[in-house]
Amino acid sequence: MFNKDIKTVLELIKAFPDEQTCIDHLEELRWEGIVISPFDSLSSVYKCKGNKYRCRNTGKYFNVKTDTIFDNTKIELQKWFLAIWICTSFKKGISSVQLSNEIGVTQKTAWFLLQRIRNCFGFDDNDKLDGIIESDETFVGGKNKNRHKDKKVEQSQGRSFKDKTPVLGLLQRDGNVRAFVVPNTQAKTLQPIIRRNVAKDSVFISDEWMGYNGLHSDYDHHIVDHSKKQYVDFDNPEIHSNSIEGFWSILKRGYNGIYNWWSRKHMQKYVNEFVFRYNLRKETQFTRFTKLLLNMENRITYKMLING
């Protein structure tokens, strides 16, 4: 296992100078010295030439890349490592065009590579958020005022989202954030997500939107009325939603400055990317890099991406 003092791209390249060092590192992370067959976890395994293994029970051959994001691609692992390092370290993300230039692949290949990486950002967390929870929704999409007159969308102001996609955010004060692409902001959509992710009796802070009505039965619900230009409760300065607003600002800067457009179909993957970096913001870059690699078994195929 490599030390955790790797801080720069140059140090990463020196630590993983060729395919074999990358393979050795992945084997250590995935199997920790005991090779497990992806076809039958109880089967004994035979070591073969060329970093291959054979599952005794099924007779199938495999390697450390089998059933991972690296499976069935011709891209060198060093390029994969560079892409993962960049994607987990750039605060605003990186576009497929820029990544293709950075690692020397086509834009289409870079897009597929990034989508596979993003598929590893979202992972289940069974522990509920508790303490002080800030909730807010944002709407992702271009501003109507910036569109050409032939492309403007009528009656799309405020909470009308004909041309935008709503995203619900839940942030534990001084802790982690969770964000969900949702079809609408109605109570029947928002509240089941909130109850699944927020521990009962937590302090719950939201704006005045009617979709939060009724949560007082499960939470100590406080409202910051943004419609009245109220952004903090002066009687209790702890009651505000500034932290979740800060997360939205990071996401929006990435959207506007790097990506410019996300399809609704893939939007949750992009949102998960920002959630991942935010939740590991206090960790070292090598820790973020390793956390992604530890989640590498969340493989998605090109056909799955295209067909949904």
Supply the CATH number for residue 181's domain.
3.30.420
User: Which structure tokens are listed for 87?
Assistant: 């994607």
In DSSP terms, 55 is beta-bridged to 45
Instruction: Please check whether residue 97 lies inside any domain of the structure.
Output: no
Instruction: Please check whether residue 95 lies inside any domain of the structure.
Output: no
**pLDDT string in tens for the chain (308-residue length):** 555 679 999 999 999 999 999 999 999 999 999 999 999 999 999 999 999 999 999 999 999 999 999 998 899 999 999 999 999 999 899 999 999 999 999 999 999 999 999 999 976 677 899 999 999 999 998 665 554 445 445 555 555 566 799 999 999 999 999 999 999 999 999 999 999 999 999 999 999 999 999 999 999 999 988 776 666 766 777 888 899 999 999 999 999 999 888 989 999 999 999 999 999 999 999 999 999 999 999 888 888 887 76
CB-count burial class (<10 Å; 0-12, 13-18, 19+) for 203: middle
Instruction: Please check whether residue 214 lies inside any domain of the structure.
Output: yes
Instruction: Please check whether residue 60 lies inside any domain of the structure.
Output: no
In DSSP terms, 168 is beta-bridged to 137, 180
- CA–CA dist 294, 286 (Å, integer): 12
Looking at the 3D structure of the chain, how many domains does it have? Answer: 1
pTM above 0.85, yes or no: yes
- CA–CA dist 89, 218 (Å, integer): 38
Decide: helix, strand or coil at residue 108: helix
- CA–CA dist 37, 64 (Å, integer): 10
Q: Which domain holds residue 154?
A: 132-262
Instruction: Please check whether residue 180 lies inside any domain of the structure.
Output: yes
- CA–CA dist 87, 274 (Å, integer): 10
Decide: helix, strand or coil at residue 217: helix
- CA–CA dist 9, 85 (Å, integer): 8
